[in-house]
A = this chain, B = another copy of it.
Amino acid sequence: MQKIAESPLSLEPGDHYGNGGVVTKLEAQIAQLLGKEAAVFMPSGTMAQQIALRIYADESGINQVAFHPTCHLHIYEQMAYSELHHLEGVLLGNPEALFTLQDLESVQGPLSSLLIELPQRVIGGQLPTWEELTAICDYARAKEIKLHMDGARLWECAPFYNRTYAEIAAPFESVYVSFYKILGALPGAALAGPASLIEKARIWQRRHGGNLHQQSPAAISAILGMEHHLPLIPRYVEKAREIASILSKFEEIEVIPKTPPTNMMHLKFGIPKEALEKAVIQIAEEDKVFFPLFLSDDCRTELTVGEAVLDFNANATEYLFSKLLNSNRIIN
């Protein structure tokens, strides 16, 4: 608590409709961190990303935008990009893998923008190599396609690329980042990019109903979340690799991707959902550890490694998953 009391935050006034105080401070911090001219705080990434793509479509007069089939805009936003903004989505590649330069090259007709999600969450947090990413971005730029990054989990990509956030963001015109996921803050997002884009984005934010009377509580929590979690992220990623390596020894678990580039992965279990759910309760009771599994129908779950998991050593991981699978043997 000492840190908060000592923080210059305690001297900042509140904002008025996102103007001034800690909100302006957070926006400046994000712009600097991502190496962009400006940034705007928004209540959600859903809002921020639609807005960026809409602006690119209006500027170019082209309503086709490209993204992966598991893009947040395509599967989690009730088709707002089409219903609200009349954009047409072009799906790149197949839903189970990252799209490739070849997938992009095969698109018919012009595109106003290309959205790249780093990492691609729905397929277990996969990341293209830096070379593949650069090749895709170079191609898009040559075709005058605006590049937008869905950086909901950009914070978790830096160890894999061994580059700063600004270096990873450099090929992109605009970047969205989120504050309430690994950073543990109240809901909130930011869109960063050229000053002219951010100025237009503020108008669209107002239109979306996202220019709220007071954003300071969310902005303060975002600043504190970055202060606390960003330095720990390399450790989360390292711990995720350790866990993935242990779990890959169980024949009943498929780890996707095999070597997680970030702190997230998917686990696909080869035993019945009911057995797992029963084991979760037993482990919670006996070991005081709760697995929030949220299993899909095909027994797949997302595992994100955060601060709470840092204290689990390899033995504990092996013991707990062994018990979860109701198995005493480890397949090596």
Binding site for B on A (CB under 8 A): 42-48, 50, 77-80, 83-85, 180, 186-187, 203-204, 206-215, 217
Contacts and interface: CB of A to CB of B under 8 A. Distances in A.
Nearest to A180: B213
A58 to B, nearest CB: 10
A44 B212 contact: yes
A207 B43 contact: no
Contacts of A214: 180, 186-187
Contact of A78 (B78, B80, B207, B212): B207
Which of A77, A204, A209, A212 has the most chain B CB within a 10 Å cutoff? A209
3 interchain residue pairs of minimum CB distance: A47-B209, A80-B207, A46-B209
8 contacts: A44-B209, A44-B213, A46-B206, A77-B209, A78-B203, A84-B84, A187-B215, A210-B210
A187 B206 contact: no
Nearest to A47: B209
Given A78-B204, A180-B214, 14 more contacts: A44-B209, A44-B212, A45-B209, A46-B207, A46-B211, A48-B209, A77-B206, A78-B206, A79-B207, A83-B207, A84-B85, A187-B213, A187-B214, A208-B208
Contacts of A79: 207
Q: State the main secondary structure of chain A at its contact with B.
A: loop
Contact of A47 (B45, B210, B215, B217): B210
Contact of A208 (B48, B80, B180): B80
Contacts of A78: 203-204, 206-207
A79 B204 CA distance: 10
B50 A217 contact: no
Contacts of A203: 78
A231 B211 CA distance: 30
Nearest to A80: B207
Contacts of A43: 43, 209-210, 212
Which of A77, A180, A213 has the most chain B CB within a 10 Å cutoff? A213
A44 B83 contact: no
A79 B203 CA distance: 10
Contact of A84 (B42, B48, B208): B208
A299 to B, nearest CB: 22
A144 to B, nearest CB: 25
A51 to B, nearest CB: 8
A261 to B, nearest CB: 24
A255 B212 CA distance: 30
A221 to B, nearest CB: 10
Contacts of A44: 209-213
A205 to B, nearest CB: 9
A77 B208 CA distance: 9
A84 B50 CA distance: 11
A85 B209 CA distance: 13
Contact of A77 (B80, B84, B180, B207): B207
